[in-house]
Amino acid sequence: MADPNGTLTERQRQIAAAARALLDEQGPEALTMRNVAEVLGIKAPSLYKHVPDKTALEHLVVADGFAEIADALEAAVPQGLTGIAAAYRDYAIGHPHVYRLMNYRPLRRDLLPAGLEERTARPLAAAVGGDPARARALWAFAHGMVSLEIDGRFPDDADLAAAWRAGLESFGEVMPNHYRPGTSPQ
């Protein structure tokens, strides 16, 4: 479990890891205080000493997700916009439950470690020359594409590679025709 600012107690890290494992393995319905306590071999009321409520529990997982995606995006910066897009897609598709928890509801920024959201956005901003509006547009495009893919909204015959190429080309990057989402766009 990531602890970007080193502020979690050992028990909070254990709780967060148990919550993440439940979410990854069984989906969002499994992410309850009772289930997390059961995994840890304690009674649910004991969790409240360390995590005040389910929202705080979820945001331990959200913070972990942001740290992971920030790592992936930072590693992809040398590959440019297409590498960043591929890293974003790979993370979202590889961790759909965490991705939904991070992005499909209002974000309680007050429950995230300071600077984590900005760290995650920095590679997107760099990929479009530092323009915040273009970075938000890039995030909206990538988020829309992966959300539709995760939720099974594209027709079976949809050419997702062509859709990614068209979208990313609108940001000024020309992608090779052989690029396929989920692969390195070299």
Q: Which residue has the higher pLDDT, 3 or 39?
A: 39
User: Rounded CA gap, 140 and 50, in Å?
Assistant: 35
Provide mean pLDDT across the span 87-92.
97
Distance, in Å, from the CA atom of 49 to the CA atom of 71, rounded to the nearest integer, reads 31
Residue 172 has what pLDDT? 80
- How many residues belong to the chain? 186
Structural contact between residues 62 and 23, judged by C-beta atoms closer than 8 angstroms: no
Which two tokens mark 118?
Answer: 């900005």
Contact 90, 73 (CB under 8 A): no
DSSP code, position 112 = S
Q: Look at phi and psi of residue 148 and say left if phi exceeds 0, alpha if psi is from -120 to 50, else beta.
A: alpha
pLDDT at 8: 87
The DSSP code sequence of 11-75 is: HHHHHHHHHHHHHHHH-GGG--HHHHHHHHTS-HHHHTTT--SHHHHHHHHHHHHHHHHHHHHHH
Distances (CA, A) of 65 to 57, 58, 60, 150, 156: 13, 11, 9, 16, 29
- The upper half-sphere exposure of residue 168, i.e. CA atoms within 13 Å in the direction of its Cβ, equals 28
Evaluate if pTM is beyond 0.85: yes
User: In angstroms, rounded to a whole number, what is the distance separating the alpha carbons of residues 96 and 23?
Assistant: 10
Read off the pLDDT of residues 8-55 as tens digits, 9 standing for 90 and up.
899 999 999 999 999 999 999 999 999 999 999 999 999 999 999 999
> Is a pLDDT exceeding 90 seen at residue 141?
yes
